[in-house]
Structure 1
């Protein structure tokens, strides 16, 4: 069976600044919250940090040349706030601007589109010291940072994404404590949710008011779990989970406001001020979707949130996540309806596998190829079912710093030797090359 995509469908790859750039203290960059978090014993595997990573800051031309050889049509990267405004607010760093201009210009020389994410988690530590995303002022600090990106880079960026994965910035980082800055406090998390949403809205208003025309949107990682059973309690638990972890963002972005169920069931209210919801609901050109898995959930009275994930039957990737491409199809169908048929892009999708470099410098990652094929097939099926899905970005272009997992987990279609920093395309890179070229077939 072949994968059926139109000639206009965009195939890309993705990374994030802290995960690949390295050069943490070069050319004026100052510490971000992940520099701080990684230095806390026990927070990150082996105490790994992003000081060097795969050194894309110095090797971006080499990486872009490789993207070109693989037929990649677009590169989704993120801009590092502590490179552009090192102190979080105030003076713009010309060396930071120059780096991203050079990156975009090199992409264009190869005919590759530049998809820039303004914020992918590397908040300047100076702003965290003032409360980070729990402090309403940060939405306005973000606006000034976004202005610097728009005004200095709009002529070389083909498409903009304001924020990557609000769920991770807020619930994962302020409620569950798993990511930087590592808090576990519902009241702080609720504030962070609203301030991230407000930051997005402020940036959208500025962008529209300036008359910039490159497409702009936001990337979410929707949690759309399935009920573990047909019991009404489990069905309600799945709806509550989706409201808390997904609709709390998509609702305001699409003019629906915050889900009432969160107040009714969990007593949550958000620190809304006059005009906030109007700003946040500014129309986007697209929604980016990061999808990796779908979990079954059930009602759980012992959990303060009222629901809990349940065991699953699917194969686990090397990071422990279930492989569920049918979940992607279901999610795309739901998102298409919920967003009133707003164009969608898969801005991240990929698989963590136990990759081994052979003596002849190859990586035979058959499990990842199967994962990618099945999820691309789900994308193809969703398009046939009427979903306005316009592109797919594999996560990730290259093995990199996987947040709290450090360098122990690999998602790349390109293998990184962390000692020599040499790059080796995996079999999945050549599979993806064939998909882009129109030959997406594998032996079943």
Structure 2
């Protein structure tokens, strides 16, 4: 064994992340119905154990206790999202809600008083339902409503927020709503999805433009879920399949949001199959070009492995990215069987090197990384603490490769775990737990897990001991 202290850069951001819809609960401030609340009313059987987002982790009532728990688990930074539906309870438009402003100002002030930097994200899957009725991200009216929401947030909270983010995982709602049936309104139509993706990118640019006008000291960027794409082999057909998959799932948002331009090969492919969005202007493209991310959040959970298709595409079926590749199950892969995701720690290094080499080494941080495990009560000791050594190992193994990336010159400023306290996970509800702090749902009691104690030590020491012979 060759153990040594892996020390991270000075002022490294240690923290975690969650979102408004997954943690706050509805509360009494006034809030428009979101797409998740509507979907639960229409199809409650799609949600694990029929648990809605009505209460979740009840953060809106317990935020002072929670901020202290952030401090107790080593946080010097934390990412929240601001609920559009709460800020504008009149269906996402109209007058700003003073009760929502008071809540977020109190929360952010409490965090700042505890020396916890506020990372504020503007959109995390929680479209007001009435705006979805107007077309959601397919609608210019909704893009303008989002830009108005963003400008209001900059005005109300600009003095309290350290960094801003326009979107978390903007690819997610496109995949879920238009291609893969895991987001409301469950449409299967690639071309409509392409339009929604384009307008999401336009909304990102408009929010950045509004942020610039406020002349705030904070930076603004975006958080993307990115997986390095690996071909099954170096056979040219496999390599081409991986390249196309990477265009769809990585470059589609990364290039326009960071570089201000769309990948030419992806544009040509979509044009060939008549899948380009119909509504866009030269002015839109200029706005996107001139308003790009100043900082980049990287959500990394698993690699993407693909191979050349072995079967013929049904051309009468809906157009999908999988027309050009198939997923590859690598023999011998390690899995988190609870979530169905491969565990491949080196992927975090590969991702950071891609950003360094191909995106100007933009200032970046790991904005999500984590391990969801079901039935964690199995691992409780007699005091009720979850002894989650598996999560500690997962964090250490990923951080070791992140440390290696920093040694290679990657401009990585921090690491945020998903998540802080066990929170509600969309249609999975509380099936898998990710937190540094466990939640007893009936009583809302919070208990720091063993991983939460480790995280505090990690933050205090700004590193940890690790056998670097394990790095390849």
TM over 0.5: yes
Count of residue pairs brought into register by the alignment: 443
Distance 1:407 1:254 in 2: 34
Q: Secondary structure at the match of 1:275?
A: helix
Please give the residue correspondences for 1:125-204 in structure 2 after superposition, counting only pairs within 5 Å.
Answer: 125-204=129-208
Distance 2:218 2:7 in 1: 27
1:148-199 Cα distance to aligned partner (Å, 9 max, x none): 1011110111111111111102123222121233221112111110010000
Distance 1:175 1:257 in 2: 23
Counterpart in the other structure of 2:292: 283
Counterpart in the other structure of 2:317: none
Which of 301, 310, 320 aligns to 1:292? It is 301
Q: Give the C-alpha shift of residue 373 in structure 1.
A: 0.5
Please give the residue correspondences for 1:408-419 in structure 2 after superposition, counting only pairs within 5 Å.
Answer: 408-419=431-442
Specify every segment of 5 or more residues in structure 2 that has no aligned partner in the other structure, as ranges: 314-319
> Contact (CA 8 Å) 1:252, 1:277: kept in 2 or not?
no
Counterpart in the other structure of 1:91: 95
Distance 2:349 2:426 in 1: 27
> Contact (CA 8 Å) 1:32, 1:122: kept in 2 or not?
yes
Q: Are 1:252 and 2:273 an aligned pair?
A: no
Q: Are 1:27 and 2:36 an aligned pair?
A: no
Q: Are 1:211 and 2:215 an aligned pair?
A: yes
Please give the residue correspondences for 1:76-115 in structure 2 after superposition, counting only pairs within 5 Å.
Answer: 76-86=79-89, 87-115=91-119
Which structure is richer in relative contact order (CA contacts within 8 A, separation 6 or more)?
2
Q: Give the C-alpha shift of residue 442 in structure 1.
A: 6.2
State the Cα RMSD in Å: 1.6
Counterpart in the other structure of 1:347: 367
**Does 78-87 or 7-16 show the bigger shift?**
7-16
Q: Give the C-alpha shift of residue 25 in structure 1.
A: 5.4
Q: Give the C-alpha shift of residue 69 in structure 1.
A: 1.6
Distance 1:62 1:442 in 2: 33
Which of 47, 51, 71 aligns to 1:48? It is 51
Counterpart in the other structure of 2:316: none
Q: Secondary structure at the match of 1:205?
A: helix
Distance 1:241 1:48 in 2: 34
1:14-65 Cα distance to aligned partner (Å, 9 max, x none): 111111111x252111210011122314322122211011100100111111
Distance 1:108 1:263 in 2: 44
Distance 2:165 2:460 in 1: 26
Distance 1:385 1:180 in 2: 42
Distance 1:425 1:181 in 2: 37
Please give the residue correspondences for 1:294-313 in structure 2 after superposition, counting only pairs within 5 Å.
Answer: 294-300=303-309, 302=312, 304-305=320-321, 306-312=324-330, 313=332
Distance 1:264 1:109 in 2: 51
Please give the residue correspondences for 1:225-236 in structure 2 after superposition, counting only pairs within 5 Å.
Answer: 225-236=229-240
Distance 1:36 1:401 in 2: 16
Counterpart in the other structure of 1:328: 348
Which of 451, 454, 469 aligns to 1:431? It is 454
